[in-house]
Homo-oligomer: A and B are copies of this chain.
Amino acid sequence: MRNVFHEQLDAVFEDLTRICGQVEIAVRRATESLLTGDAAVAEQVITGDAEIDRAREKVEESAFELLSLQQPVAGDLRVIIAALRMVTELERMGDLSVHVAKIARLRVPNVAVPDAIRATMTSMGETAEDMVRRVGQIIEKRDVGAAIELGRDDEVMDRLRRDSFAQLLGDDWEHGVEAAVDIALLGRYYERIADHAVSIANRVVFVVTGQNPRSIES
């Protein structure tokens, strides 16, 4: 049955899709600033984060209103709680993009990523951005199949992170401690963006099916 509650819930999910689009731009620009050393682009990510924070607050207020006025129970209640958790994770992904951009800014006029590891870090940035783009579509279309697939692809990021460590800790690393520390932390930030994308995808599976992905796959 479609009713006011479900129309308002749809509006919340439209907001989530829109915020995911903002996060996608933040991740793309953060990676761009990192690979080019462009301080202006890094600055865009850092100052632009306030907009994502405001959008999160708006979703939270809508969700509280829905909870307070519509008094949902059972499944509907869990869907709104899931939406609240999704927006928290999206905001966090924005924060992580800011962390990437701040490392980029710190090294201007240099580039934080040495050429030797540029390919790995480019792939990490592209993988993170791609996962955020896909999770936006997953939220928009409530696409359970794509959500389960995203969970499986998380291993791409894990492999890239292992590759980056192998390079940093290899005998032929000649870029010193500072670059190694930057790369290790950047890898951590991108990995967390990917973790959150998978977590949001799992929440969409739960929202649509009432089950967690693991119980569906098995």
**Which chain A residues have a beta carbon within 8 Å of chain B's beta carbons?**
64, 67-68, 71, 73-74, 77-78, 81, 84-85, 88, 165, 168-169, 173, 176-178, 180-181, 184-185, 188
Docked pose: A208 CA to B64 CA in angstroms = 18
Residues of chain B within 8 A of A71, CB atoms compared: 71, 73
Docked pose: A208 CA to B67 CA in angstroms = 21
- CB–CB B177/A173 < 8 A: yes
Given A77-B64, A88-B85, A169 and B178 contact (CB-CB distance below 8 Å)? yes
Docked pose: A80 CA to B64 CA in angstroms = 11
Residues of chain B within 8 A of A169, CB atoms compared: 177-178, 181
Given A64-B81, A68-B74, A177 and B185 contact (CB-CB distance below 8 Å)? no
Given A177-B180, A185-B188, A77 and B81 contact (CB-CB distance below 8 Å)? no
Residues of chain B within 8 A of A165, CB atoms compared: 181
Copy number in this complex?
2
Docked pose: A71 CA to B74 CA in angstroms = 11
Q: Rank and list the top 10 A-B pairs by shortest CB-CB distance, nearest first.
A: A181-B184, A177-B180, A68-B73, A71-B71, A169-B178, A184-B184, A180-B181, A67-B77, A68-B77, A177-B177
Distance in Å: Cβ of A12 to nearest Cβ of chain B = 15
Given A168-B181, A181-B181, A81 and B78 contact (CB-CB distance below 8 Å)? no
Of B74, B84, B177, which one neighbours A168 at CB under 8 angstroms? B177
Shortest Cβ distance from A175 into B: residue = B177
Shortest Cβ distance from A183 into B: residue = B181
Residues of chain B within 8 A of A81, CB atoms compared: 64, 67, 81, 84
Distance in Å: Cβ of A142 to nearest Cβ of chain B = 21
* Interface core residue of A67, A165, A169 (most chain B CB under 10 Å): A67
Residues of chain B within 8 A of A178, CB atoms compared: 169
* Interface core residue of A78, A173, A176, A181 (most chain B CB under 10 Å): A181
Docked pose: A180 CA to B179 CA in angstroms = 11
Docked pose: A8 CA to B177 CA in angstroms = 52
